[in-house]
């Protein structure tokens, strides 16, 4: 296995993928500017919900973000043409990190995948051919790469589809409730098409085809006899998603991984016809062995294990969301509802309601239905009052949340001062109520007069 991993193969797949990758990021960067995505998520906002621990990114969430996306577009061009590739790919990765970790209002799993692949590309010789760098410096020009480079991409995309498949085996997906909600919300399609979308049989068909596609696409691409059938299925699946779900560049980004499943010679003959045909006859190379052992192997181990963490955390991840992010739980559920906060001055016990629209845009307010975002909002409220020299407790007095259009249930314990709680990425938080807890548990509680435990100052 070790020898096969370092067998020389034609590097055409990596070179072609570099170009596709650059095009995807260029389209993402320019599209975000032209379609006002940057304005809506960074510029026309008072605050934001960053990934927890990345609150320092709030300092640049203003007109500076225009520059970030312009620089990303320029770096993407550098990647496409292999111009100062190492600088371009590292710059793009860092800039995209500012975007990805800087907001969760418009969160998509494909943003995470784009960040992972950008990180991988920082360590790969993707400019060894068909690049400005190779033309300017012939010493870096190569016709080959070790076999393991293709394996890295295949394993990564396998993780995505495998965990996406496993996650769909739960009642709301299997009975069509998720796909029903998905298609019922589509109102900007022709009436004839909408009528098809609203048929139960069609919704069930899409639900089970989603499982079949996610579960079988990688094996089908790996097997020569079904490879072209898998490509056709991928085209239909991703184009359908692109049109109906309107999820940006992701369908086309996902299609680009297909090149690693074909023999490198086929990719060379189709995309790089001027590239010399070289036979390596089983030769091996130890180039990149240190990167392989100390970066890529640990990276893949993390990718295999990280999506499993929610199984080690108490509660149903569908309800608690603990361990949901970074685990390829894609298009699995809809959540609705908004938290209402009460603030109590610890010195005077004065109670007042906090109005979310003082801080948040409408879209941000609609995200106040997951524990991490609600917790972050409590921290923001506490900081807001601290700047007024007030020490306050923050309670979530209303958090009736619907998952997949089911009956609304209370998510957060209203008797807990959420502003004084700490966040743990790998542990259950007891202030998240059990989904099956009696809904009248707090019916006799005067939520406007929640007692505050004041700890005497020493």
Task: Quote the pLDDT of residue 441.
Answer: 65
CB 306, CB 163: distance < 8 Å:
no
Residue where the block lists tokens 């009248």: 440
CB 359, CB 46: distance < 8 Å:
yes
Bridge partner list, 342: 353, 395
Task: Quote the pLDDT of residue 118.
Answer: 98
Q: Out of 28-32, 272-276, 284-288, pick the least confident.
A: 284-288
The overall longest dimension of the chain from CA atoms, in Å, is: 82
With bands split at pLDDT 50, 70 and 90, how would you rate the model's confidence at 108?
confident
Average pLDDT of the chain is: 92
Quote the tokens at residue 183: 């298609």
How far, in Å, are 344, 346, 396, 446 from residue 341 at the CA level? 10, 15, 5, 14
Candidates 226, 269, 220, 231; CA nearest to 10 is 269
Task: Quote the pLDDT of residue 454.
Answer: 38
Quote the tokens at residue 101: 């970790």
Dihedral (CA of 316, 320, 321, 327) sign:
negative
Instruction: Quote the pTM value.
Output: 0.93
Task: Quote the pLDDT of residue 258.
Answer: 96
Task: Look at 182 and 128; give whichever has higher pLDDT.
Answer: 128
How far apart are alpha carbons 118 and 21 in whole angstroms? 9
Average pLDDT estimate for 235-247: 86
Does position 453 have pLDDT exceeding 80, yes or no? no
Does position 321 have pLDDT exceeding 60, yes or no? yes
Percent of residues, the chain, with pLDDT higher than 90: 80
Bridge partner list, 351: 344
How far apart are alpha carbons 265 and 267 in whole angstroms? 5
Q: Out of 222-231, 325-334, 391-400, 411-420, pick the least confident.
A: 325-334
How far apart are alpha carbons 276 and 130 in whole angstroms? 12
Apex CA 58: angle with CA 54 and CA 59, to 5°? 120
With bands split at pLDDT 50, 70 and 90, how would you rate the model's confidence at 146?
very high
Average pLDDT estimate for 22-28: 97
Helices of type H across 82-129: 85-100, 109-121
How far apart are alpha carbons 168 and 191 in whole angstroms? 29
CB 414, CB 443: distance < 8 Å:
no
């Amino acid at each position: 296995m070790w020898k096969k991993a370092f067998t020389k193969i034609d590097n055409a797949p990596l070179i072609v993928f570099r170009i596709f990758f650059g095009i995807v990021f260029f389209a993402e960067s320019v599209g975000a500017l032209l379609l006002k995505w940057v304005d809506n998520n960074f510029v026309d906002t008072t605050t934001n919900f960053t990934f927890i621990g990345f609150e320092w990114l709030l300092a640049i969430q203003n007109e500076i973000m225009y520059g970030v996306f312009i620089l990303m577009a320029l770096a993407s061009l550098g990647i496409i043409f292999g111009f100062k590739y190492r600088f371009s790919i590292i710059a793009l990765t860092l800039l995209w990190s500012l975007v990805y970790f800087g907001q969760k209002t418009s969160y998509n799993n494909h943003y995470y995948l784009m960040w992972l692949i950008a990180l991988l590309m920082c360590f790969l010789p993707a400019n060894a051919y068909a690049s400005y760098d190779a033309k300017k410096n012939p010493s870096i020009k190569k016709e080959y790469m070790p076999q393991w480079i293709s394996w890295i991409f295949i394993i990564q995309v396998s993780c995505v589809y495998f965990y996406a498949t496993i996650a769909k085996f739960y009642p709301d997906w299997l009975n069509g409730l998720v796909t029903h909600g998905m298609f019922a919300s589509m109102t900007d399609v022709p009436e004839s098409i909408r009528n098809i979308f609203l048929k139960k049989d069609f919704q069930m068909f899409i639900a089970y085809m989603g499982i079949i596609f996610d579960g079988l696409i990688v094996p089908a691409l790996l097997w020569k006899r079904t490879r072209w059938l898998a490509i056709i299925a991928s085209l239909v699946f991703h184009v359908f998603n692109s049109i109906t779900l309107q999820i940006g560049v992701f369908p086309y980004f996902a299609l680009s991984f297909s090149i690693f499943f074909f023999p490198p010679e086929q990719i060379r003959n189709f995309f790089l016809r001027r590239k010399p045909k070289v036979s390596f006859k089983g030769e091996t190379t130890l180039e990149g062995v240190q990167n392989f052992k100390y970066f890529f192997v640990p990276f893949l181990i993390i990718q295999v294990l990280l999506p499993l963490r929610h199984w080690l955390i108490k509660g149903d991840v569908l309800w608690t969301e603990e361990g949901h992010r970074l685990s390829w739980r894609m298009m699995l559920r809809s959540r609705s509802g908004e938290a209402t906060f009460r603030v109590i001055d610890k010195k005077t016990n004065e109670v007042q309601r906090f109005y979310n629209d003082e801080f948040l845009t409408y879209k941000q307010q609609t995200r106040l239905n997951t524990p991490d975002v609600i917790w972050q909002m409590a921290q923001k409220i506490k900081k807001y009052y601290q700047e007024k020299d007030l020490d306050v407790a923050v309670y979530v007095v209303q958090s009736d949340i619907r998952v997949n259009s089911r009956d609304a249930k209370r998510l957060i314990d209203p008797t807990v001062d959420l502003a004084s709680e700490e966040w743990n990425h790998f542990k259950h938080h007891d202030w998240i109520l059990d989904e099956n807890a009696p809904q009248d548990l707090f019916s006799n509680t005067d939520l406007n007069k929640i007692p505050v435990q004041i700890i005497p100052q020493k």
